[in-house]
Amino acid sequence: MCFIAYRLDVREQKKGTYLVIQKKYWDKEKKRPGTKHHETLGYLHELQKQYPDPIAHFKKVVEQMNTSEKANNTLMLPIDMNEKLPDESHTRYNMSYAVIMKIYHELELDRFFNNKARHETFEYNTNSIMKLLTTTRILHPSSKKGSYEYRDMFFERFDFELHDIYRALSHFSKIGLECQRFICDQISTKFGRDTTLMYFDVTNFHFEIDKTDDMRKRRKEISV
């Protein structure tokens, strides 16, 4: 039996209002809460001879009993100092994940990916996959396989397989442009944008060519 709390039980009987203190507990065998009698206080009209407001008085008494019970209640945990953790276990987690997920949810990306997958036939969770890919891209840049192998460093459970990530890429490609527009709109709405000074990366247009011509020649890269 595990103690939960004391409570004041006010009962209406033929002779009048009757006050009793009960003890609430958790029955481990039956796996459900239970109640047992703790103390009989008596009829309200009799208690009023001693207390102006018996119900208010004994509510405070019960509150003090609960406070005292919690203070005296201790938990003893035996620890085997010679026991070793299994080789496959780890106790290190990347807490920076929480910061990224806060921004992720503020931008409502979870809503976007869940809505886009609503009418699809695949069973894997594309929102969960995008969470992992986004987080590892920032905290632990690596391949898709490397991101999947790093998933245990976060508190969230990623319930999908490596092949699900590869299969989800075609879906992400299909909604890629719409996702970029959604993120742009969300940032503008929630945080605002300062477009007085803008930078464009046009390196790909100028330098990734197979053959040179009169307009495009090989030279050192120039930042634009």
Answer yes or no: do 65 and 102 share one domain: no
How confident is the model at residue 162, as a pLDDT? 95
Could you tell me if residue 32 is inside a domain? yes
Answer yes or no: do 57 and 101 share one domain: no
Answer yes or no: do 181 and 103 share one domain: yes
The tens digit of pLDDT for each residue in 100-111 reads: 999 999 999 999
How confident is the model at residue 216, as a pLDDT? 67
Which residue is associated with the tokens 């442009």?
A: 177
Number of structural domains (the chain) is 2
How confident is the model at residue 165, as a pLDDT? 96
How confident is the model at residue 175, as a pLDDT? 95
Cβ contact 46:82 at 8 Å: no
Answer yes or no: do 110 and 165 share one domain: yes
Could you write out the DSSP letters of every residue in the chain?
-EEEEEEEEEEEETTEEEEEEEEEEEETTTTEEEEEEEEEEEEHHHHTTT-SSHHHHHHHHHHHHHHHHHHH--------TT----TT------THHHHHHHHHHHTTHHHHHHHHTTT----S-HHHHHHHHHHHHHHS---HHHHHHTGGGSSS-----HHHHHHHHHHHHHTHHHHHHHHHHHHHHHT----SS-----HHHHH--SS--SS---------
Cα–Cα distance for residue pair 220/207, rounded to 1 Å: 9
How confident is the model at residue 224, as a pLDDT? 46
For strands 32-43 and 2-13, give the pairing: unpaired
How confident is the model at residue 83, as a pLDDT? 82
Answer yes or no: do 104 and 175 share one domain: yes
How confident is the model at residue 67, as a pLDDT? 87
pTM (2 d.p.)? 0.52
Answer yes or no: do 174 and 114 share one domain: yes
How confident is the model at residue 1, as a pLDDT? 61
How confident is the model at residue 218, as a pLDDT? 67
Can you give the residue range of the structural domain that contains 177?
Answer: 96-190
Answer yes or no: do 106 and 173 share one domain: yes
Could you tell me if residue 21 is inside a domain? yes
How confident is the model at residue 47, as a pLDDT? 93
Answer yes or no: do 104 and 177 share one domain: yes
Answer yes or no: do 68 and 121 share one domain: no
Answer yes or no: do 34 and 102 share one domain: no
Could you tell me if residue 77 is inside a domain? no
Could you tell me if residue 85 is inside a domain? no
The tens digit of pLDDT for each residue in 178-223 reads: 999 999 999 999 988 888 888 776 655 445 566 777 776 666 555 5
Give the residue ranges of the chain where pLDDT is below 70.
1, 74-75, 88-91, 201-210, 216-224
